Structure 1
Amino acid sequence: MKLDLGFTFDTKPLEKEGYRFFITASSGGGKSHGGKVIAEELLTSGHPVVIIDPEGEYLGFQEYYPTIIVGGSLAHLEMSESTIKKTIEAVLSRDKVTVLIFDLSAFLPSERTKWATEIQEALHFIAGKHKRAMAFLVDEARLIAPQKLNKATMASKERAVEIAKSGRKRGIHSIWITQRAAGIDKDVISECNIWILGKMRLKKDRLQVREILENAGLEDKDLMDLPQEFFLFDGIHPTKRFKFRATKIKDLGKTPIVGEKITFKKLKDRSLDSVLQKLISEAAKEEKKEEERLDRMKQLEREKHLLENRLSEQADAVTRLESRIESLKDVREMLTTASTNSTTKAKAPAVSNERLQKILARQEALEKEKQQLEKKLQEVLEENDYLASSLEQHVHFSKIKEQMAQRIKAIQEAFASLQELIHSFDDLSTIDDLSTIDKGSLSTPSANNHSTTKPQISVDLATFEERRAFVTKESVLEVLNKVTERRGVSKAVVEKIIRFLVQKGEGTYEQIRIFGNYADPTGISKAANELADYKVVCITTREGKNVLSLNLNGLQEIEDLCELRKKSEALKIF
């Protein structure tokens, strides 16, 4: 593929490792303009483009290309987790090349980081499912993958490094643009393979790319006063000084002029309009559901507040009743004392006896009142227990909701991992020979093996049976089939490596070559490295030689993932 950047840049030597552009220049140096040129070229060559646009500079694409805008003043759809996933899915599913712009210009820096993390996570997963060649452009990348990290930027930076490092396996060609080279994480810069360096006046920025400058044969003075020109270095072609060509789209990154009004004439695309209508309809339904959920939460909060107030009132009533009962007990004791004293005075006047009768009658009345108060207190306590139980149920309900939300999130993450694994294991065949491994077949070379060497079993029978059981499991056979589908990997070589390691425990490349009598001396290295990538074998260095052994932990992890996938399918979670 050849790109017209202002000169013809041949990317074919970089095709296998993917294109990862890093563009940096001081303010006004033309870096965002360069990003638009590269995006135009990739669109022309059939790559859909997903853009994180912190300042709304890329909205001009809608005049010439089918475009979906999420967020910002010209949005087709408001920003949300669901909208992010559905729009990426729609763009990568369309036959027509489409531009997807996430406009973050209306958000605060902390909110931009949050949404950038969501976008990168969704893109990483969905692109892995489609494996379609596409471009991912990030402007002001220092805000998303900063050199100085905090809690808010950690997740975004980790995802950015992951995309820059292994995005090519998912079809993602990335473009990272920044004004300050010193502000972006070094891992992102080092994972790129096409560096486009413009004017850099600050020493810190030049120090950040010092190694690149030295490899490109450049000095500090070469970058200190470039007139909107750039140096391109890819480690293959000679370093090229050039100026980006003009773009078709409007330049929204330039300084506004007084009285100037920017308008857009949107490209008409009926198929895209249909997709947008569907996305807008689904977003409206989800928004309604979210509003209903929030209303229910508010209602529960109000009910909780009322219950708490009622409990407080009942607690005050109980306190007052208990105080009154204590007072009645004191009166009863006084009356009992008075009654005892009266009975001991046999010669007291008749009037004293009459007074005693009144006191006793009063005591009896107080006793009845006490019983009534105790009964009322019991009723209040029972109601108090009921209210406390209701409040406890409400709190328990809230906790259950939180636990369910966490569980759903965990299940969704597990499902995402399973979806990725399922996609990787689609359309696999089985390695029939490995499914019938036994001691006899391992100790006897196959018919086409002309080696006179017959290696003997070097491990005890229990270890031998354990390893044979591992490599003949359905999940492991699926992975071995995946390895044999890789370019340059021979099925026969893979089988012989596995047989050798099951029988011998470990071995060097030379030992396995002798046992297998391979015609191609590089075949075993390719197969061994692919098996190591899939966690089937381990490769270690011992006395200057590469030693291979079965990765039992990796095999167990493959089996566990297979069991988890089967359980999820049986439960029909989704």
Structure 2
Amino acid sequence: MTHLLLGGVSGWGKSINAQAWLERNLAEFDHAVILDYKDEYRGVVKAGLASWVGVDAELARLSVAGWQKLLQNNPRLVLARAVDVETWRTVANRVAAALLELDGSGLFAFDEAHFVASQRKGTPDRVIEVATTGRSMGVSSIAITQRLQKLDEDYLSQCNEKILGGFTSERDRKKLDVEYSVDVHNPERTAAIRGLPEELHADDDGPVPVRRWTNENGQTTGSEWIYSNDRGERQRLDTTGLPDRMETTHYGPEGQHLDMPEYA
């Protein structure tokens, strides 16, 4: 079973990259849950690939058995958060338990993963069970985050596949735990990266850090990522044009650009 870590600094395009993975794989699982922290995966619902459920205080009290019944009636769910972070962690734990105990294959995907698998608070027991014993129980996972330094190391160590973009924080890069130079994940670096494996070179520019492209409004139009797994495979990926090849529409907010005032 795959346990994928997909990470990059804010604005690098991680949610659209994650949505592409979900679009490609959701139908392969008997049950799937996407914990949507900021309501960014509505496109998956609009395309008919999953049902939408808003998790408010009342639904957050649902038991593991209740989540199992809900998943039996709605095999693929996007859960939108309308509760505080601590309650969200509890919901994540019960949903993970439901997936582990249901017959058949399951997918547990959670955005802003550092709030659930927290370095400070740890990872709820059934969520960490997804990553540790989920392989033998038919459950895969996708953890999506922009803050690796806040992601629980116990959970991070269980991720057997990684897709990593740019990280401007050195503390984030120190947690990458990869077998190639982490300098490739520093978009602020200008010098060539010595010793970077050839398969991770840019086709047009050689051993340079991963890059991001934007339009005139500052919105990301494409970005580069490094894929690696525990079998030693490594690849440099470019998401330019990915939205045009997807069947689902991505509705993640880019945020409003701020213009600088005139200074004397």
> 1:170-212: per-residue Cα shift (whole Å, max 9, x none)?
2111101111111101111111110111101111011111x31
Distance 2:129 2:67 in 1: 21
Percent of aligned pairs with the same amino acid: 24
Alignment of 1:150-549 (within 5 A): 154=122, 156-209=123-176, 211-212=177-178, 215=179, 217-220=180-183, 222-225=184-187, 226-227=211-212, 228-244=223-239, 245-246=242-243, 247-255=246-254
Mapped partners of 1:68, 1:198: distance in 2: 29
Letter in 2 for 1:142: H
Following the alignment from structure 2 to structure 1, what is the Cα–Cα distance between the partners of residues 30 and 228? 23
**C-alpha contact 2:19 2:250 (8 A) present in aligned 1:** no
CA RMSD of aligned residues (A): 2.6
Q: Which residue of the other structure, out of 8, 13, 16, is the alignment partner of 1:30?
A: 13
How far has the Cα of 1:28 moved from its partner? 0.8
* Aligned match of 1:101: 78
Distance of 2:224 and 2:30 partners within structure 1: 26
Residues 65 and 99 in structure 1, CA contact (< 8 A), matched pair in contact too? no
Residue by residue, what CA displacement relative to the aligned partner does 1:275-312 show, whole Å, maximum 9, x if unpaired? xxxxxxxxxxxxxxxxxxxxxxxxxxxxxxxxxxxxxx
* TM-score after normalising by structure 2: 0.74
Deviations 1:539-570 (A, max 9, x none): xxxxxxxxxxxxxxxxxxxxxxxxxxxxxxxx
Contact 2:60 2:87 survives alignment (8 Å) = no
Q: Distance in 2 between matches of 1:32 and 1:186?
A: 22
Instruction: Give the count of matched residue pairs.
Output: 220
Q: Is the 8 A contact 2:37 2:112 kept in 1?
A: yes
Q: Distance in 2 between matches of 1:64 and 1:231?
A: 28
Q: Which runs of 5+ in 1 are unaligned?
A: 1-17, 259-574
Q: 1:187 to 1:83 in 2, by over 3 A?
A: closer
User: d(CA) in 2 for partners of 1:85 and 1:55?
Assistant: 26
Distance 1:257 1:88 in 2: 40
Deviation at 1:25, TM superposition (A): 0.3
Contact 2:42 2:250 in 1 (8 A): no
Larger C-alpha radius of gyration, 1 or 2? 1
Counterpart position of 2:114:
142
Deviation at 1:134, TM superposition (A): 2.2
* Correspondence 1:50-129 to 2 at 5 A: 50-71=33-54, 79-82=59-62, 85-92=65-72, 98-104=75-81, 106-124=82-100, 126-127=101-102
1:242 aligns to what SS in structure 2? strand
For residue 46 of structure 1, report the CA deviation from its aligned partner: 4.8
TM-score w.r.t. length of structure 1: 0.36
1:55 & 1:121 partners in 2: Cα distance? Answer: 23
Deviation at 1:30, TM superposition (A): 1.5
Asked if 2 retains the 8 angstrom alpha-carbon contact of 1:164 and 1:188, the reply is: yes
Amino acid corresponding to residue 94 of structure 2 in structure 1 = E
On the 8 A contact 1:21/1:176 being kept in 2, the answer is: yes
Structure with higher strand content: 2
- Which is richer in helix? 1
Q: State the 1:27 CA deviation.
A: 0.1
Asked if the contact 1:138–1:177 (Cα under 8 Å) also holds between the matched residues in 2, the reply is: yes
Structure 2: segments with no counterpart, 5+ residues? 188-210, 213-222, 258-264
* CA–CA distance in structure 1, aligned partners of residues 237 and 146 of structure 2: 19
Q: Distance in 2 between matches of 1:102 and 1:59?
A: 10
Query: Would the alpha carbon gap of residues 134 and 92 (structure 1) be closer, same or farther in structure 2, given more than 3 Å must change?
Result: farther
Higher relative contact order (CA 8 A, sep 6+): 2
Q: Distance in 2 between matches of 1:109 and 1:82?
A: 16
Measure how far apart 1:119 and its partner are: 2.2
* Contact 1:25–1:197 (Cα < 8 Å) also in 2: yes
Name the amino acid aligned to 1:223: H
Secondary structure class of the residue paired with 2:157:
helix
| Deviation by residue 1:40-72 (Cα, 9 ceiling, x = unmatched) | 111243554211111111122122225332225
